[in-house]
């Protein structure tokens, strides 16, 4: 159902508020550049610090700009089942195509609790739901067994896996219903996930390299191995640099260098450090997105 390069969209800010014009221009650029879908209000979009008005504004704007050209998968998950249901219903009203629901963080539910959480969200709406498994942020990992059990529900349609364990893809794909998608949650492992049978990647790097990330995914599907390998090598320094500090600070800095938006983030995050900026500058050059470090300086200062 969902495949390819799907950017987890940053949320541009200006003086503490959403820069809606920058966001709308950014979303349109993503679609024009070949992204196979978009994810507003995810972790990369700083969902933990967005208020309800922000979320509604972002979801509505995304749906309007995309205009049905690609799927819109809204991040709706929290560590409260009631709040997640509320968010998912709001997403449905906004016209999105699916919901990305993160494993509840901090309260560390059991596998039975995770099943009950996702089933409650599933039963509350007719939206397709993608499970988001990211134990490094949530402190809890949803097991393959629980995913397979949830996949028996008609509207649980996929999982975004950020465990770094590519073998889970084969385990899931070999046992799950037809059409259930597995999406990598880590850009650096997107190729390895594809080799294990995954369908694509919900990507941070695609925020600043949408055409390249889409071409990478399409090269795998078409069997163009030389292009796949070339893009893998070219993008890897960027994949690494964008996580040198807590995301999305580095990718927002990269976006500012490319003239997409400011690098402003909301507390408790702070902008990327000088050391991180240097790593990102170098990676932008190595990826070919910027011609030289002199170009970086000109853009940052001008």
Model confidence over 99-154: pLDDT tens digits?
999 999 999 999 999 999 999 999 999 999 999 999 989 999 999 999 999 999 99
And the tokens for 71? Answer: 């799927």
**What confidence score (pLDDT) does residue 252 get?**
98
**What confidence score (pLDDT) does residue 54 get?**
96
Give strand pairing partners of 8.
39
CA distances from 292 to 176, 213, 295, 296 (A): 47, 21, 5, 7
Give strand pairing partners of 98.
73
Mean pLDDT of 81-99: 97
Quickly state the pLDDT bin for 184 (edges 50, 70, 90).
very high
CB–CB of 127/155 below 8 Å? yes
Quickly state the pLDDT bin for 220 (edges 50, 70, 90).
very high
* Ramachandran angles phi, psi of 98, nearest 5°: -165, 165
Mean pLDDT of 74-90: 97
Above 90 in pLDDT, residue 276?
yes
And the tokens for 294? Answer: 């002199």
Q: List the one residue out of 65, 83, 90 whose CA is nearest residue 74.
A: 90
Mean pLDDT of 34-51: 97
**What confidence score (pLDDT) does residue 294 get?**
55
Q: What is the dihedral of CA 62, 65, 67, 72, to 10 degrees?
A: -20
Above 80 in pLDDT, residue 202?
yes
Above 80 in pLDDT, residue 296?
no
The C-alpha atoms of residue 296 and residue 129 are separated, in whole angstroms, by 40
| Percent of residues, the chain, with pLDDT higher than 70 | 96
Quickly state the pLDDT bin for 177 (edges 50, 70, 90).
confident
SS3 helix, strand, coil % of the chain, rounded to 5?
50, 15, 35
- The rounded mean pLDDT for the chain is 95
Above 70 in pLDDT, residue 88?
yes
Cis ω for the linkage preceding 248 (within 30 of 0): yes
Mean pLDDT of 224-252: 98
Q: Name all domains of the chain by residue range, CATH numbers in brackets.
A: 4-234 (3.20.20.70)
**What confidence score (pLDDT) does residue 52 get?**
94
The C-alpha atoms of residue 190 and residue 198 are separated, in whole angstroms, by 8
And the tokens for 82? Answer: 């009631």
Query: Catalytic positions, please?
Result: 132, 160
Q: Give the sign of the dihedral formed by CA 288, CA 249, CA 207, CA 256.
A: negative
Average the pLDDT over each of 247-261, 263-277, 279-293 and give the range with the smallest value: 279-293
Above 90 in pLDDT, residue 300?
no
**What confidence score (pLDDT) does residue 42 get?**
97
């Amino acid at each position: 159902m969902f495949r390819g390069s799907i950017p987890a969209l940053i949320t541009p800010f200006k003086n503490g508020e959403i820069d809606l014009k920058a966001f709308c221009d950014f979303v349109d650029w993503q679609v024009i550049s070949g992204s196979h879908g978009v994810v507003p209000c995810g972790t990369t979009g700083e969902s933990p610090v967005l208020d309800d008005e922000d979320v509604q504004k972002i979801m509505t704007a995304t749906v309007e700009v995309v205009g049905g050209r690609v799927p819109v998968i809204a991040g709706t998950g929290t560590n409260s089942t009631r709040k997640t249901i509320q968010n998912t219903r709001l997403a449905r009203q906004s016209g999105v195509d699916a919901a990305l629901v993160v494993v509840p963080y901090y309260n560390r539910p059991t596998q039975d609790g995770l099943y009950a959480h996702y089933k409650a969200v599933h039963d509350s709406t007719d939206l397709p739901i993608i499970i988001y498994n990211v134990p490094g942020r949530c402190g809890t990992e949803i097991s393959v067994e629980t995913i397979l059990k949830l996949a028996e529900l008609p509207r649980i349609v996929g999982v975004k896996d950020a465990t770094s364990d590519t073998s889970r893809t084969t385990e899931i794909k070999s046992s799950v219903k037809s059409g259930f998608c597995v999406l990598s949650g880590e850009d650096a492992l997107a190729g390895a996930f594809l080799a294990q049978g995954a369908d694509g990647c919900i990507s941070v790097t695609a925020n600043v390299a949408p055409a390249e990330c889409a071409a990478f995914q399409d090269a795998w599907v078409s069997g163009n191995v030389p292009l796949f390998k070339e893009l893998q090598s070219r993008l890897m320094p960027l994949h690494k640099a964008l996580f040198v500090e807590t995301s999305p600070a580095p990718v927002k800095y990269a976006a500012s260098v490319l003239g997409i938006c400011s690098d402003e983030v909301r507390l408790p995050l702070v902008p990327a450090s000088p050391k991180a900026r240097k790593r990102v500058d170098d990676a932008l050059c190595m990826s070919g997105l910027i011609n030289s470090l002199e170009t970086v300086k000109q853009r940052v200062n001008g």
